[in-house]
């Protein structure tokens, strides 16, 4: 078995540069509609998780449960300001879960991810991404709606439901990745599609938590239960909409017009059914030995290391600066909102440059990844040392620029994932999902270890480790990364000896 750049080129992989192909941005383009639907699918998958993170604050009676973090402010310059200015909020929730029980509840979804992540990519390939995505969303939405009665019935029943939701959610990303592979044949158009649909992560991070916090204290449908009724109900409605307008591939979709269908049939990557997979299987050992894939996995690890740090631990850093709860909430949203704007510009820009042949797709992905990793590392250094208790608001512009630069990782290694080996998209999606989980776990372990040490400037250490991880992954991708399938081909075993 060999991996060579000069043999075995899949003739179905076609780079589209012809101006005659149907416009992506058109009222007649069902590809654009599919992309928006994938954005919503990503949003609902993330929003269901973030909804619980916000709702648990309202579910627990804070007068009965003490937050241990209030006693752990170690920064010398901020301890006094924190103790004097941070108000205490008494939330009369329904439950008296301890901090440990709250932590287990919020992490239960992760353990559910671990149960199914190894088979999620294969399921998308064998059962079809359309069925996998629809089934996963319907199961998740049903359990989200049942969250309030489960919470009142038993804490352990609620934790079990979150585990099942996590197991179902593991199938969403591989299914979405497979759909992107089937619907968007041109390399540049893939970059646009990835930039658009992945905005769902930022919309969820930026608005789902805010929306949940706004309705958390209301009296509508009992207050906090309305979060789950609304989130679960809208997710179920979306799953029905996807079943109507979505499909595994353009050939099966009745909403695609004839001109678009004809172009897609001529230029799309022809992903065959189970029979083709059995005819030309790619051994996992061959995939794992591939340096370009290894670089993508390392970049996914580093990206989710940084993402977990921002999503989970940024509020603690801002709290240690002595900021109010309201200001912490808005500042936490800032980098995710900035990422939405960055993706709206970077994806089309790369597509234009590649289509005009001003840069190769491989060089485009490497340039985007470098700007993201190096730029974010610099911003983390500034964020660690410049904001203080006397000028905490100065963190806002740093977070905005950080969010804009972080979008480069989407157009870098994340886009390359769709291009290096189309027929192995399911397996690659599973491996990148494992890298994502590993990055999140590693970030949590590093932050917990550093904050447990009684030393000043602990957040500077956290940001320094994050910068090292980002830059190390960037160097590996610059050397070994690839953004073109012609540079990275898995060759099946020769049948001459059979």
Tens-digit pLDDT profile for residues 4-31: 333 333 433 344 444 456 777 777 788 8
Contact at 8 Å (CB) between 436 and 130? no
Kindly report, residue by residue over 236-269, the tens digit of the pLDDT: 999 999 988 888 888 788 888 887 877 777 765 4
Three-class HEC string of the chain: CCCCCCCCCCCCCCCCCCCCCCCCCCCCCHHHHHHHHHHHHHHHHHHHHHHHHHHHHHHECCCCCCCHHHHCCCCHHHHHHHHHHCCCCCCCCCECCCHHHHHHHHHHHHHHHHHHHHHHHHHHHHHCHHHHHHHHHHHHHHHHHCHHHHHHHCHHHHHHHHHHHHHHHCCHHHHHHHHHHHHCCCHHHHHHHHHHHCHHHHHHHHHHHHHHHHHHCCCHHHCCHHHHHHHHHHHHHHHHHHHHHCCCCHHHCCCCCHHHHHHHHHHCCCCCCHHHHHHCCCCHHHHHCCHHHHHHHHHHHHHHHHHHHHHHHHHHHHHHCCCCHHHHHHHHHHHHHHHHHHHHHHHHHHHHHHHCCCCCHHHHHHHHHHHHHHHHHHHHHHHHHCCCCCCHHHHHHHHHHHHHHHCHHHHHHHHHCCCCCHHHHHHHHHHHHHHHHHHHHHHHHHHHHHHCCCCCCHHHHHHHHHHHHHHHHHHHHHHHCCCCHHHCCCCCCCCCCC
Tell me if 27-60+95-281 shares its fold with 284-491. Answer: yes
For the record, the structure tokens of 370 come out as 């470098």
Give the per-residue pLDDT at 215.
77
Rounded CA gap, 141 and 139, in Å? Answer: 6
Segments making up each domain of the chain, as ranges: 27-60+95-281, 284-491
Cα atoms found within 13 Å of the Cα of residue 189, Cβ hemisphere only: 26
The top-level CATH class assigned to 284-491 is mainly alpha
Q: CA end-to-end span of the chain, whole Å?
A: 14
Choose among 364, 374, 362, 361: nearest CA to 302.
374
Give the per-residue pLDDT at 37.
92
Choose among 400, 395, 408, 293: nearest CA to 338.
400
Contact at 8 Å (CB) between 113 and 169? yes
Contact at 8 Å (CB) between 232 and 141? yes
Give the per-residue pLDDT at 99.
64
Contact at 8 Å (CB) between 414 and 194? yes
Rounded CA gap, 159 and 282, in Å? Answer: 38
The C-alpha R_g of the chain, in whole angstroms, comes to 23
Low-confidence ranges of the chain (pLDDT < 50): 1-19, 63-91, 269-279, 486-498
Residue that the structure tokens 């939330």 belong to: 91
Which of the listed CATH numbers 1.20.1250.20, 3.40.50.300, 3.40.50.12280, 3.40.50.2300 matches domain 27-60+95-281?
1.20.1250.20
Rounded CA gap, 153 and 131, in Å? Answer: 32
Give the per-residue pLDDT at 214.
74
Rounded CA gap, 30 and 36, in Å? Answer: 10
């Amino acid at each position: 078995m060999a991996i060579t750049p000069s043999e075995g080129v899949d003739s179905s992989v076609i780079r589209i540069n012809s101006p005659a192909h149907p416009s992506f941005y058109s009222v007649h383009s069902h590809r654009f509609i599919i992309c928006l639907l994938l954005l919503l699918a990503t949003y609902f998958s993330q929003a269901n998780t973030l909804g619980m993170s916000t709702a648990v604050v309202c579910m627990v009676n804070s007068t009965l449960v003490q937050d241990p973090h209030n006693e752990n402010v170690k920064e010398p310059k901020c301890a006094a300001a924190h103790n004097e200015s941070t108000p205490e909020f008494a939330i009369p929730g329904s439950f008296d879960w301890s901090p440990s029980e709250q932590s287990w509840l919020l992490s239960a979804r992760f353990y559910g991810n671990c149960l199914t992540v190894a088979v999620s990519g294969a399921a998308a390939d064998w059962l079809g991404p359309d069925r996998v995505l629809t089934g996963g969303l319907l199961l998740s939405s049903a359990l989200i709606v049942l969250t309030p009665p489960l919470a009142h019935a038993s804490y352990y029943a609620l934790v079990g439901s979150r585990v099942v939701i996590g197991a179902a959610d593991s199938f969403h990303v591989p299914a979405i990745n497979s759909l992107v592979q089937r619907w968007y044949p041109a390399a540049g158009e893939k970059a646009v599609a990835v930039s658009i649909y992945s905005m769902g992560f930022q919309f969820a991070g930026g608005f789902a938590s805010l929306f949940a916090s706004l309705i958390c204290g209301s009296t509508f449908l009992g207050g906090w239960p309305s979060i789950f009724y609304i989130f679960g109900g809208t997710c179920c409605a979306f799953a029905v909409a996807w079943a109507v307008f979505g499909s595994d591939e353009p050939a099966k979709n009745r909403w695609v017009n004839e001109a678009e269908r004809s172009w897609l049939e001529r230029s799309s990557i022809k992903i065959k059914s189970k029979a083709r997979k059995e005819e030309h299987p790619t051994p996992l050992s061959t995939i794992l030995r591939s340096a370009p894939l290894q670089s993508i996995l390392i970049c996914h690890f580093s990206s989710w290391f940084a993402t977990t740090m921002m999503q989970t631990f940024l509020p603690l850093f801002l709290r240690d600066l002595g900021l109010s709860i309201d200001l912490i909430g808005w500042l936490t949203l800032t980098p995710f909102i900035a990422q939405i704007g960055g993706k709206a510009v970077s994806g089309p820009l790369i597509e234009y440059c590649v289509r005009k042949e001003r840069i190769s797709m491989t060089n485009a992905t490497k340039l985007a990844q470098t700007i993201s990793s190096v730029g974010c590392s610099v911003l983390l250094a500034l964020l660690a040392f410049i904001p203080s208790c006397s000028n905490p608001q100065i963190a806002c512009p740093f977070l905005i620029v950080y969010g804009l630069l972080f979008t480069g990782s989407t157009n870098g290694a994340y886009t390359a994932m769709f291009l290096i080996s189309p027929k192995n998209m399911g397996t690659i999606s599973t491996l990148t999902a494992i890298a994502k989980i590993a990055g999140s776990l590693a970030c949590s372990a590093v932050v917990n270890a550093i904050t447990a040490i009684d030393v000043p400037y602990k957040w500077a250490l956290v940001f320094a480790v994050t910068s090292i991880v980002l830059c190390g992954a960037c160097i590996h991708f610059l050397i070994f990364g690839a953004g073109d399938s012609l540079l990275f081909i898995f060759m099946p075993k020769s049948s001459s000896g059979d």
